[in-house]
Copies of this chain bind each other. A is one copy, B any other.
């Protein structure tokens, strides 16, 4: 992969990085850094390239998420994280929506300032252990009882990998509620174009000078390419060999891990 023929790495001014599966493998134990990734983040910053994390993480507030990343050795600040919950709060305010939340307990503080009385929409995140039969029925009943059900989903991932195995992601539960209520969810997070655009705005680099690096062939790679970015798939995290035969999405390149991507990109600067 390295050496000549890496035209995809030219004229880069900023990187968007997915987090889980690229920087670390998440898990109930807090997770494990992927070898070389913390050093790769330091090298990106030292090179003068801009960097923004673009994550669908909805199991914690950005503050707690950054605290966890720092404990794992990543030099990251809150402003360097683009995540669905703050984007959802902007959308709720713009449209006067009052959410019923089916999200992880640790995400709830992100919605502290939002009026949640007499809900007129449901916001679905990766609720993990909160995806109980009772909670899903409650969200369903609220939706089906609305004159015009509004379902907002923080991402639409199929699954992700934790240290103890693969887990169903929010997208699976979104599909369950979509089907039961015959509605289509509005997705806030990757691969929504609007979400990538806000990440680029925070990165401060136009799409054609940015590269997205992720482990999800559809959400990370496909979504970023639809916004005019180049996109790499790492062979870490939820990557599976069958991704390389994906019928619709073809990354600009595959790399074994973030460290290899950064090696190649820095050689072209």
Binding site for B on A (CB under 8 A): 128-129, 131-133, 136-137, 140-141, 144, 158-159, 165-169, 171-173, 175-182
Q: Are A168 and B136 in contact (CB under 8 A)?
A: yes
A169: which B residues are within 8 A, CB to CB? 180
CB contact between A131 and one of B136, B144, B171, B177 (< 8 Å): that residue:
B136
> How many copies of this kind of chain does the complex include?
2
Q: Are A171 and B166 in contact (CB under 8 A)?
A: no
CB contact between A168 and one of B165, B168, B171, B180 (< 8 Å): that residue:
B180
A131: which B residues are within 8 A, CB to CB? 133, 136
Q: Are A140 and B128 in contact (CB under 8 A)?
A: no
18 contacts between A and B (CB under 8 A): A128-B133, A131-B136, A132-B132, A132-B133, A133-B168, A140-B167, A140-B168, A141-B165, A158-B179, A158-B181, A158-B182, A159-B180, A168-B176, A168-B180, A169-B180, A172-B179, A175-B178, A176-B176
Contacts known (A128-B133, A131-B136, A140-B159); A177 close to B172, Cβ less than 8 A: yes
Top 8 closest A-B pairs, CB basis? Answer: A172-B176, A175-B179, A176-B176, A172-B180, A175-B175, A131-B133, A158-B180, A159-B180
Distance to closest chain B CB from A237 (angstroms): 15
Most buried by B among A133, A166, A167, A171: A133
A141: which B residues are within 8 A, CB to CB? 165-166
A181: which B residues are within 8 A, CB to CB? 158
A177→B168 CA distance, assembly (Å): 8
A2→B137 CA distance, assembly (Å): 38
A180: which B residues are within 8 A, CB to CB? 158-159, 168-169, 171-172
With A128-B133, A131-B133, A172-B179 already in contact, 8 other A-B pairs whose C-beta atoms are closer than 8 Å: A129-B133, A137-B166, A137-B168, A140-B166, A169-B180, A171-B180, A172-B176, A172-B180
